[in-house]
Amino acid sequence: MATFFIVDDEPILHELYHDILRMKGHEVCGEAYNGSECIEKLFNSRPDPEYIIMDHRMPLKNGLEVMKYLLKVKPQLKIIFVSADTSIKKRAIDAGAIMFLRKPFNLNTFFLSLSKLNI
Amino acid sequence: MASINNGNSGNNPDFKFNGRTKNLLENIFNTMNDELIVVDKNFIIREVNDYFLDQYGWKRDEIIGKFCYRILHEKDEPCSENDFKCPLKKVFETGQPVHLKPSSTKQKDRKSGSVYSAFPLLGEDGEVKYMVGLTRELTEFQYTDNLLKDSEEEFKLLFNDSNVGIMFLDPTGNVIDINPKFLEILACDRWEVVEKNFFVLFSTLKMNSVDMLSTFDDDIHLDNGKNIEWKISNRKGKQLYLLAHPSPIRKNDVIIGRYVVVEDITEQKNTQKVLGEYTEVIKDIFESISVGMAISDLEGNIVEINEPAMALFGFNSREEIVGKSGLELLSDGDRSKAYQDMLKRRYHDETHDSKYKVKSKTKGEFDLNISSSLIKDKDGNPLGFMVISKDDGKQKGSEKQLIEDKKRMELYLDQITHDVFNFNQSIITSSELLLNGDDLSEQQKKYVKLTLDQAKTISNYIFNTKKLAEIESGDLKIHSVDLYKLFSAAMSRLYQSYSRRPIEINHQLQDSNICIQGNELLEHVFYNIFNNAVKYNKNEVVTIDISYSLNKDEKFWKIEIMDNGYGLPDILKKSIFDHFKSGKKNGTSTGLGLTLSKEVVKLCGGEIWIEDRVKNDFSQGSNFIIKLPRVS
């Protein structure tokens, strides 16, 4: 079982992430709907979530900015970058994301990707 | 030949006469109304007659014994070849008389319009002792006659050697004379024209009556510089356009004749006609383009001009500029340079961009960027020039607007793509979760599957459209890529997409170490082909065989992807790559997938096409062949 923190501005996707992660026995320990909220919540969170599912295009701060900031403060965080914006893939990986998933992904692809990370 | 014995003659010991002869000769010498001068071979004046002294107002002792060149020409040395053509030397050399043409250069106080002759005077030894110079004034008639004779020579030269046709007519219209050039234009012999009536002659040459009458209409061309354009057929049947300038010859307000000067403008007219047709063809562009544009003939005369160009130069109508030289629109300083540039374009077929200072009626002088190129006919013969002028400010403005519009469109496309992907994620995940559950009937599952498939289709479609747009914008770059890596990623994706479908992919790529010129989108191309192989395949096991080889010149890798699917009939093999061009969806189209594949392969410098896996039997499956540039 692993703990996940969901960061995405689409509420419906939060629900779906909950459901699909639960399918595999994992838990969603927190969520945020924009970059600033994410920083605020994660800065003070104890314990840290094992994995963060991070969207890119969000209000206030985008995923890349948030990820760079978070990794400076907590370099141990493991961030899975998920975005419909494929042009951001290389920058996300270079900035420290452990994986990049392109939206829309099917369940198979999602679970296969998690298994590659030994999740 | 006069011969003088030395005698006692006052100051002239060389002259000897008996008393009677001397008086007679002296009388004749001094009463002649011609100037007489006697000069020895040392240029010393030995004698002059009274008439000579009267003409110049000298006294005898002022000039006798003096050098002739000093007295007559105020020089310090004898006249040279470049000065007054003194006959003295020639007379002494040849012993023959010399006659000069009527003088046109002024000597000291000498009137022009006189004839000068020099005669030798021999001594007893037969040698020329003196030169006797005689100057006779011509009467006005004689002078004019001589001048006319000279002028006539000059005129004949002009008339016969002219590059324009010249014809003289009497008051009734009969041809008096015609020059060789005009005869050449008409392709007539002289006898066919001279003494013939103008109207009769040119009727046979198919000139229309309006032009004939205009030629004789003095109200039209009374020195007002107006020309008439003649259209005739010469004796050889060739249709010609001539620019005619007719003019009456008057004396005391009475017309005593006419002359007509003509220039053959046939080539110019034909060029203008072809250029005009050319302009007609590009009329839409010509009228709608926002930059100034003009068409000229090879001499730079404007044939057509569009509104923006007219506005640039302050012209209100085409008539103000069409037919005139475009070089006139340039400032004096740049005209020569522009002419040289024009010649370069004409003879070296160079497209030329340059900045010139131009003159506008409304804007005064200003700098203008001008681009011009040669227009040729279908046989490659030059016809004229197309000139495009760019007013920097406006052009930059238009370009800026276009760039901004493009950026905005790209932004919209990007945002739409992102948002649709996001929406689709919800649909796909929800649908998949539904399908994973046990609560749905088979029928319901079928509907959910349909929803899922359509959502995936939407995603693919949006993705492909975006990539096509990026390719067209030149935003996608190509570089060296590892072929196995691309195939590997595509195969991995395929297995994930069809985890429950047995798929067998046979290849030897892992050891191939092949590098090609490409882009990461090639993974998408390969996935697309694999996806079609699975999707359109009724076999229990999907088989995909991948092979590769180098082409003959070893510059390209040829990759073949063979499947055991439905295959494609010949009629669809090409059109399946052209989703937009075909104008309609073909039966097995997956949307833009193969269209994008073709564009990606093309971007990489390669080719893609489809053959049958089994020759002439498409039902056994397809063979997708991709050629990609090799990178060593």
Give the pLDDT of residue B88.
80
The ipTM estimated for the assembled molecules is 0.77
User: pLDDT tens digits for B335-384?
Assistant: 888 888 888 777 776 666 888 998 888 878 888 888 888 888 777 888 88
* pLDDT higher than 90, residue A78: yes
On chain A, the residues whose CB falls within 8 A of the CB of B424 are: 103-104
Give the pLDDT of residue B351.
67
Q: What is the mean pLDDT of residues B518-526?
A: 87
- Would you give the DSSP letter of residue B329? G
Total residues found in chain B within this entry: 632
Q: What is the mean pLDDT of residues B244-262?
A: 86
Q: What is the mean pLDDT of residues B117-128?
A: 86
Percent of chain B at pLDDT > 90 equals 17
Confidence label for A80 from pLDDT (cuts 50, 70 and 90): very high
- For residues B185 and B135, the model is more confident at B185
* pLDDT higher than 80, residue B53: yes
Distance in angstroms (rounded) separating the CA atoms of residues B36 and B17: 19
Return residues 19-78 of A near B (CB < 8 Å): 19-20, 23, 57
**Number of C-beta neighbours around residue B344 at 10 A:** 12
Pairing of strands B2-3, B35-40: unpaired
Whether A10 sits inside 8 A of B422 (CB atoms) is yes
On chain B, the residues whose CB falls within 8 A of the CB of A104 are: 421-422, 424-425, 427-429, 455-456, 459
Whether B425 sits inside 8 A of A104 (CB atoms) is yes
On chain B, the residues whose CB falls within 8 A of the CB of A14 are: none
On chain B, the residues whose CB falls within 8 A of the CB of A111 are: none
* pLDDT higher than 70, residue B70: yes
Give the pLDDT of residue B107.
46
Give the pLDDT of residue B80.
66
A16: nearest CB among B417, B426, B499: B426
On chain A, the residues whose CB falls within 8 A of the CB of B497 are: 106, 108-109
Model pTM above 0.90: no
- The residue written with tokens 């004379």 in the block is B177
Q: What is the mean pLDDT of residues B516-527?
A: 88
Q: How far is A23 from chain B (nearest CA, A)?
A: 9
On chain B, the residues whose CB falls within 8 A of the CB of A112 are: 496
Q: What is the mean pLDDT of residues A53-71?
A: 89
Distance in angstroms (rounded) separating the CA atoms of residues B85 and B103: 10
User: pLDDT tens digits for A108-118?
Assistant: 889 989 998 98
Whether A104 sits inside 8 A of B497 (CB atoms) is no
Enumerate the H helices of B349-441 as residue ranges. 392-436
- Lowest-confidence range among A87-101, B104-118, B311-325, B347-361? B104-118
- For residues B218 and B378, the model is more confident at B378
Q: Which two tokens stand for residue A79?
A: 């961030």
Q: How many CB pairs under 8 A join A and B?
A: 60
Whether A104 sits inside 8 A of B455 (CB atoms) is yes
Confidence label for B579 from pLDDT (cuts 50, 70 and 90): low
User: pLDDT tens digits for B465-509?
Assistant: 888 777 777 777 788 888 998 899 899 888 877 878 899 999 988
Whether B499 sits inside 8 A of A108 (CB atoms) is yes
A20: nearest CB among B417, B429, B493: B429
- Lowest-confidence range among B70-79, B96-105, B273-282, B560-569? B96-105
Q: Which two tokens stand for residue B53?
A: 């002294």
Determine the residue type at B6. Answer: N
Give the pLDDT of residue B138.
64
On chain A, the residues whose CB falls within 8 A of the CB of B427 are: 104
Give the pLDDT of residue B506.
93
Handedness of CA B527, B530, B536, B539 (dihedral sign): negative
B246 within 8 A of B221, measured Cβ to Cβ: yes
Q: What's phi and psi for B256, nearest 5 deg?
A: -105, 0
Give the pLDDT of residue B583.
43
Q: What is the mean pLDDT of residues A43-52?
A: 84
Q: How far is B491 from chain A (nearest CA, A)?
A: 13
**Number of C-beta neighbours around residue B208 at 10 A:** 13
* pLDDT higher than 50, residue B242: yes
Confidence label for B588 from pLDDT (cuts 50, 70 and 90): very low
Q: Which two tokens stand for residue B592?
A: 């833009």
User: pLDDT tens digits for B299-344?
Assistant: 888 988 888 899 888 898 888 888 888 998 998 888 888 888 888 7
Give the list of residues 6+ apart from residue B179 with CB closer than 8 angstroms, or none. B159, B160, B162, B165, B166, B167
Q: Is B629 exposed, middle or buried (0-12, 13-18, 19+ CB in 10 A)?
A: middle
Give the pLDDT of residue B607.
93
Give the pLDDT of residue B566.
87
Q: What is the mean pLDDT of residues B10-27?
A: 59
SS3 call for B353: strand
Sheet bearing B364-376, strands edge to edge: B302-305, B292-297, B382-390, B364-376, B352-360
On chain A, the residues whose CB falls within 8 A of the CB of B433 are: 16, 19-20, 23, 107
Residue B418: closest C-alpha in chain A: A84
Give the pLDDT of residue B414.
79
Give the pLDDT of residue B149.
67
- Would you give the DSSP letter of residue B325? B
Distance in angstroms (rounded) separating the CA atoms of residues B225 and B221: 7
Q: What's phi and psi for B436, nearest 5 deg?
A: -70, -25
Whether B428 sits inside 8 A of A106 (CB atoms) is yes
Question: Mutating which of A107, A112, A115, A116 best tests the B interface, going by the most B Cβ atoms within 10 A?
Answer: A107
User: What does pLDDT average to over chain B?
Assistant: 81
Q: How far is A67 from chain B (nearest CA, A)?
A: 20
Give the list of residues 6+ apart from residue B221 with CB closer than 8 angstroms, or none. B228, B245, B246, B247
Give the pLDDT of residue B85.
66
* pLDDT higher than 80, residue B625: yes
Whether A106 sits inside 8 A of B421 (CB atoms) is no
